[in-house]
Amino acid sequence: MLLLKPGLRLYKTALDRAAQEALRDELRGLLREAPLFRPAMPRSGKPFSVRMSNCGPFGWVSDLSGYRYQARHPETGRPWPAMPGSLLALWRALAECDLAPDACLINFYDEQSRMGPHQDRDEADFSAPILSVSLGDSCLFRHGGDSRRDPSASLRLDSGDVLVFGGPARLMFHGVDRILPKSSTLLDPPGRINLTLRRAK
């Protein structure tokens, strides 16, 4: 475990190749039930460069009405599929939180995708951390402080890495500068999947 700053912990290759493949295969089934969709920014309606889905009791969505958690897929109207047991086990092992996660956002990045600096602050309680799992192509992940003006640093995240941010880092600004194409052979078609487990309610 690498403590990058108070509240920000990196577990390099927390999932070995076999565990990554098993989780990838579980996600294929989940995404047949809850297909990836492309959210839109509130007010402007501009589409995100990433496609998203969710699993667990609640899912994060964004559209002209705003950012929010809801219990059903915005396009199919069906409840989100259950969270895989392997993700819940990761949370129990690494999150250092007694509360169980009730939402897992699934982001798919192709080689053109980015994620601008933002805070995860749509949750009802910030005492639980965010646990982030990387699968597939590597990315350059940017993390800063509680203000957009704070200095930031870039960190390479590879397939199988788990990043946990909570406590003093829970509301840090963070984003994805770029994807490193063809840096992994895990996904076909290639790209990056990021899973973020949260306590939404």
Do the Cβ atoms of 61 and 39 come closer than 8 Å? yes
User: Where do the domains of the chain lie?
Assistant: 2-198
β-strands 59-63, 51-55: how paired? unpaired
| Residue 190 host element (H or E) | none
Q: Over the stretch 121-133, which tens digit does the pLDDT of each residue have?
A: 999 989 999 999 9
Q: Is the per-residue pLDDT at 27 higher than 90?
A: yes
CA distance 20 to 151: 33
Over residues 165-182, the mean pLDDT reads: 97
Tokens 């996660």 sit on residue: 101
User: Cα separation of 51 and 39, whole Å?
Assistant: 7
pTM here is 0.96
Pair of tokens at residue 139? 């990315």
Does residue 171 surpass a pLDDT of 90?
yes
Q: Which one of 1.20.120.420, 1.10.760.10, 2.60.120.590, 3.30.1220.10 gives the CATH number of domain 2-198?
A: 2.60.120.590
pLDDT, tens digit, for every residue of 134-164? Answer: 999 999 999 999 999 999 999 999 999 999 9
Sign of the alpha-carbon torsion through 91, 97, 124, 178: negative
pLDDT for res 109 = 98
**Angle formed at CA 13 by CA 7 and CA 15, multiple of 5 degrees:** 105
- Side-chain half-sphere CA neighbours of 96 within 13 A: 10
- Give the distance, in angstroms, between the CA of residue 188 and the centroid of all CA atoms in the same chain: 19
Q: What confidence tens digit (pLDDT) does each residue in 99-110 have?
A: 999 999 999 999
The mean per-residue pLDDT over the stretch 28-54 comes to: 96
Residue type, 157: L
50-99, pLDDT tens digit by residue?
Answer: 999 999 999 999 999 999 999 999 999 999 999 999 999 999 999 999 99
Per-residue pLDDT band for 43 (boundaries 50, 70, 90) equals: confident
